[in-house]
Chains A and B, each alone.
Chain A
Amino acid sequence: MGKTFAEKALGRAAGHPVNANEVITVEPDFCMSHDNTGPISRTFKKIGVKKVWKPERLVVILDHGVPAPSSDHAVNHKEAREFMREQGAPHFYDVSSAGGVCHQKFPEEGYALPGQIVIGSDSHTCTYGAFGTFATGIGRTEMAAAWATGNIWFKVPESMKITASGKLKPGVSAKDFILKVMGDVKSDGADYMSVEFHGDGISNMSISERMTLCNLGIEMGAKNAVCEPDQKVLDFIKGREKSSDWEILWADHDAVYAKELKYDLGDIKPGVAKPHTVDNYAEITDVRGTKINQAFLGTCTNGRAEDLRAAAGVLKGKRVAVRTIVIPASWNIYREVMRDGTLDTLLDAGCIICNSGCGPCLGAHMGTLAPGEVCISTANRNFKGRMGDKESFIYLASPLTVACSAVAGEITDPREVFAR
């Protein structure tokens, strides 16, 4: 009987073969935290340990409220800054052009490596599965304990195998595929599980598209999500690696799965997640014409260069009908899309470009909503109140759908634009 990816990666970390449902303790290769580093450091100090077990394993990236939108946020940043200095921890990404959204910066800086174990005090830590990393979100107390002890317990998860074959049609994006999957699996369908993406449909996808898929693993309840680390991953990490202790691991052909799903990407249509749950899937034809007040392009889900270029392709020579907020997921991406003219195209169309960070995704700043307003967003969550007011409405969609909708002022099928 073969092993799943999770069994292999956790077995490697445990130092002995493991099977699903076994409880093990492992040492994480990296521990990611963001603005919540301040509160975590306070909890850490309560334990009574002076030094983090291995300060070089901490990666801290400020992104949730940058630059600080209030003095409360600033105090958090200050605490994080002082803690990292006091610990002699080298991997700190402060509010600067070396920063960006944590889940974008972490791989960019070479911390997301195949076969390694990453814990992050943010639920979208599962994004790093795009690089063949076993990466999972945890809470603040759990992170403080891991810093003190150098280990964390896991129940080895059962796995779900999602196989995608074929190619997406013009106007259809990787986001449309994962929104459909979330609609099928539902927000708890992969609870506690490791989600593996298989098939030529996935290997044909770019790293950026795979990050979009893995990012949304948590929205199905998954512990982690992962794609097979291939040559594209090796090319990406080359010259960036912050550790040499990694290994290409993938599931055996005869691994045992709790659930299996198969998709032909050619059948996928543009779609949305309607308010107020991520699994409230609808095909675009069912919601087209819905009036919007704001469009948002960005986040760890869809704020990469490919996403912004796709939107710019739609917006070139047009004007947006509603306020449209663009946030590149990192300052490296910001520079990239500044140099290739993408930002000019977006500005010419009437979009505003904000600094790299999480922005309005969690309702902190830079584009929060008023009661009754509707936003179409490339983010990963549409929960009630998520973008600031509990009487506002969020539709999740692809960058293409968001761009097309921004022009029309209502939810629009991107295939109509591509057919012209």
Chain B
Amino acid sequence: MKIKGRVWKYGDDVNTDVIFAGKYTYTIKDRAEMAKYALEDLDSDFNKNASAGDIIVAGKNWGCGSSREQAAICLKERGIGAIIAKSFARIHYRNCLNEGLPIIISSEIQGLVEKGGDVEIDFDAGEITAGGKKIKFPPYPEFVQGLVNDGGLIPHVKKSLGLA
């Protein structure tokens, strides 16, 4: 699979409260509705203008804090193609994979692209193209790859239980 998208760029330690605010966690239940509030307390430009296929490039520890899965859902529903970060907080890392939202760990891309720039990701080759350069990223662990191939945890579990 290959995707190409416009970049939204962020720094270190972006927490799940600013990705999806706590005050909405029990009032907004519709997945598509969640997308409207994505990054509301972090970046009003993203909140208004992000569109399907866009790619987030961030620093270290993206998604730290609360386990709220809406932080992954609101980005997935917004159509975000992938999140590339130097590192991810572990609960959010699992939430993204479970929701079928591609995430990539890379420490090189941040220096090659700015907000609004283009990034191309070739998942099969494990390669990102940005600023005229190609960067390799490591494949998922085997177990996680199975989850990704099935499109998230629920389809994966259904398949494993013979319910797909």
* B93 closest partner in A (C-beta): A192
Which of A70, A138, A383 has the most chain B CB atoms inside 10 A of its CB?
Answer: A383
Question: Which of A23, A192, A383 is the one whose CB lies under 8 Å from B15?
Answer: A383
Contact residues in B for A223 (Cβ distance below 8 Å) = 90
CA of A67 to CA of B163 in the docked complex: distance in angstroms? 38
* B44 closest partner in A (C-beta): A390
* B141 closest partner in A (C-beta): A23
Number of interface residues of A (CB under 8 A): 52
Contact with B along A137-175 (1 / 0, CB 8 A): 111111011001100010100000000000000000000
Report B9-32 residues with CB < 8 Å from chain A CB: 13, 15, 17-18, 21-23, 25-27, 29
Contact residues in A for B153 (Cβ distance below 8 Å) = 141-142, 145
* B59 closest partner in A (C-beta): A188
Question: Which of A48, A123, A221 is the one whose CB lies under 8 Å from B163?
Answer: A48
Contact residues in A for B103 (Cβ distance below 8 Å) = none
Report B38-69 residues with CB < 8 Å from chain A CB: 40-42, 60-61, 64-69
A199 an interface residue at 8 Å Cβ cutoff?
no
Smallest beta-carbon distance A35→chain B, Å: 6
Main secondary structure of the interface of A (DSSP, over half): loop
Report A172-226 residues with CB < 8 Å from chain B CB: 187-188, 191-192, 218-219, 221, 223
A350 an interface residue at 8 Å Cβ cutoff?
no
Report A4-49 residues with CB < 8 Å from chain B CB: 23, 35-36, 39, 43, 46-49
Number of interface residues of B (CB under 8 A): 41
CA of A155 to CA of B163 in the docked complex: distance in angstroms? 26
Are A47 and B61 in contact, with the CB atoms below 8 A? no
Report A32-91 residues with CB < 8 Å from chain B CB: 35-36, 39, 43, 46-49, 64-65, 70, 72-73, 75-76
B112 an interface residue at 8 Å Cβ cutoff?
no
CA of A390 to CA of B21 in the docked complex: distance in angstroms? 9
Can you sample 13 A-B contacts with CB below 8 Å? A43-B154, A121-B67, A123-B66, A139-B67, A139-B95, A141-B152, A219-B65, A221-B90, A363-B23, A364-B25, A364-B26, A381-B66, A385-B18
| Interface residues of A, Cβ cutoff 8 Å to B | 23, 35-36, 39, 43, 46-49, 64-65, 70, 72-73, 75-76, 121-123, 137-142, 144-145, 148-149, 153, 155, 187-188, 191-192, 218-219, 221, 223, 277, 279, 362-364, 368, 381, 383-386, 388, 390
